[in-house]
């Protein structure tokens, strides 16, 4: 592993130079990788591995027409590379368990009988293993249990792969029965097109992931945008002006500068007025939200968030309630203004 200095903290990471694609192919040359689930992460990881020359099959319930049809459209062939879930699990030597967290609990009784000696059970989220008391997902002792978790959506995993870059991923080994679990894990991380791989544990992965999704990546971001937009509108600013100052400038300009060179570089390349105000208000925002993040992390750590997810997603009317919540967001003035602003962007 390469030793990298992350702001004064030395970490070991795995790069493509250290673990090239050719090595991954050699490690996995006798493996059949069964991707179970063709919803969010499944398509991207399966297609990336297929394009990289690995032996991949897909397991998907034919009754779930949307995902089954999507697999057909992507070129997976029934009876050859596309199978019902249990048949794919029986054929695979590495089982990539990529259905949703709630579905993992439901499918587990029918899947576990195919986890025979020496196979590997692969996750892209530490949820089911870390909260096994709630999920009931307890692997047999004579298999490898491993994780590669891309730090991006399935759409981004595929898009970045096609662009030649890749999404960074964390990796972990929960159970090493064969003595080759780490090698298998790193090979799979390279196979799915990771930019680089950094070590974690199943527990740390799910704690950071659930905190991030509820925090900066989605929950906090949406909440902060809504608050600023409401204040601007309340004070007489038009929807167009409020949206542009809240969302459009962030997504189309500033965040791209942060991506390229960091937050300090973005600050240094903004006006003096913007610099001064951002530097001063940054601390007030941090102190205001720090207690909320501490509460959030504790809620993740003690299993409260997991219980809520499993309870709400297992209800027969969950999809209807979810669609109602998303509809409310979509039809809010903020995001209706956003739809119009996107239409007005110059066509490339």
CB contact at 8 A, 184 and 147: no
**pLDDT score of 65 more than 80:** no
Q: In the predicted model, is pLDDT for residue 125 greater than 80?
A: yes
**Which pLDDT tens digit goes with each residue over 24-41?**
999 999 999 999 999 989
CA–CA distances in Å: residue 223 to residues 100, 117, 214, 280, 293: 25, 47, 10, 21, 13
Average model confidence (pLDDT) for the chain?
94
Residue among 183, 133, 134 nearest 24 (CA) = 183
Question: In this predicted structure, what is the pLDDT of residue 53?
Answer: 96
CB 215 within 8 A of CB 293: yes
pLDDT tens digit sequence for 190-215: 999 998 999 999 999 999 999 999 99
Q: What is the pLDDT of residue 1?
A: 75
pLDDT in tens, 279-297: 999 999 999 999 999 999 9
Indicate whether 127 pLDDT > 90: yes
What's the token pair of residue 199? 């070590």
Let me know how long the chain is: 348
- To which H or E segment does residue 35 belong? strand 33-36
User: Is 283 labeled as catalytic in the residue annotation?
Assistant: no
Beta strands across the sheet bearing 144-150: 2-6, 9-15, 196-199, 169-175, 144-150, 120-123, 94-97, 33-36, 56-59, 82-83
Classify residue 148 as exposed, middle or buried by CB count within 10 Å of its CB (0-12, 13-18, 19+). buried
Q: What DSSP string runs through 141-198?
A: TTSEEEEEEESS-HHHHHHHHHHT----EEEEEEE-SSS-HHHHHHHHHHHTT-SEEE
At 226 the pLDDT is: 97
Convert the pLDDT of each residue in 171-189 to its tens digit: 999 999 999 999 999 999 9
- Cα 318 to Cα 103: distance, rounded to the nearest angstrom: 13
Percent above pLDDT 70 for the chain: 100
CA separation, residue 130 to residues 42, 124, 203, 207, 279 (Å): 21, 13, 6, 9, 39
Cβ(190)–Cβ(218) under 8 Å?
A: no
> What integer is the mean pLDDT of 224-245?
97
DSSP classification of residue 93: S
Architecture of domain 2-200: 3-Layer(aba) Sandwich (3.40)
Say yes or no to pLDDT of 339 above 80. yes
pLDDT recorded at residue 5:
84
Give yes or no for residue 154 having a pLDDT over 80: yes
| Cα dist from 147 to 53, 63, 83, 130, 284, whole Å | 21, 28, 23, 12, 38
Q: What's the rounded mean pLDDT across residues 329-340?
A: 96
Catalytic residue among 50, 125, 158, 184: 125
How far, in Å, CA of 77 to CA of 57, rounded?
A: 9
Q: Where are the domains of the chain?
A: 2-200, 215-344
Of the candidates 129, 27, 102, the residue with the CA atom closest to the CA atom of residue 310: 102
Task: Look up residue 140 and give its two tokens.
Answer: 């047999």
Helix (H, G, I), strand (E, B) or coil at 6: strand
């Amino acid at each position: 592993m390469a030793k990298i200095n992350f702001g004064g903290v030395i970490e070991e990471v795995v790069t493509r130079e250290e673990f090239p694609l050719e090595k991954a192919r050699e490690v996995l040359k006798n493996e059949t990788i069964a991707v179970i689930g063709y919803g969010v992460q499944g398509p991207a990881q399966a297609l990336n591995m297929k394009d990289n020359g690995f032996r991949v099959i897909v397991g998907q319930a034919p009754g779930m027409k949307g995902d089954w049809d999507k697999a057909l459209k992507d070129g997976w062939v029934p009876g050859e590379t596309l199978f019902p879930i249990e048949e794919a699990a029986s054929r695979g030597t590495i089982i990539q368990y990529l259905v949703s967290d709630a579905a993992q609990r439901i499918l587990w009784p029918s899947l576990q009988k195919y986890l025979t000696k020496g196979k590997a059970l692969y996750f892209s989220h530490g949820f089911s293993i870390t909260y096994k008391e709630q999920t009931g997902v307890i692997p047999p002792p004579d298999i490898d249990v491993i994780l590669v978790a891309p730090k991006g959506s399935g759409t981004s995993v595929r898009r970045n792969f096609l662009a030649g870059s890749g999404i960074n991923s964390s990796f972990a080994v929960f159970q090493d029965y064969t003595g080759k679990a780490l090698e298998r894990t790193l090979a799979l991380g390279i196979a799915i097109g990771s930019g680089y791989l950094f070590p974690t544990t199943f527990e740390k992965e799910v704690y950071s992931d659930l905190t991030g999704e509820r925090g900066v990546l989605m929950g906090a971001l949406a909440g902060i945008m809504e608050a600023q937009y409401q204040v601007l509108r309340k004070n007489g600013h038009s929807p167009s002006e409020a949206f542009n100052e809240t969302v459009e400038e962030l997504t189309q300009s500033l965040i791209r500068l942060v991506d390229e060179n960091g937050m300090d570089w973005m600050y240094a390349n903004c006006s003096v007025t913007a610099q001064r105000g951002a530097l001063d208000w940054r601390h007030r925002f941090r102190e205001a939200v720090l207690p909320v993040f501490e509460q959030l992390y504790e809620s993740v750590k003690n299993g409260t968030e997991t219980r809520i997810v499993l309870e709400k997603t297992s209800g027969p009317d969950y999809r209807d309630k979810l669609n109602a919540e998303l509809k409310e967001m979509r039809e809010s003035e903020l995001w209706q203004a956003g739809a119009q602003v996107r239409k007005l962007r110059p066509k490339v």
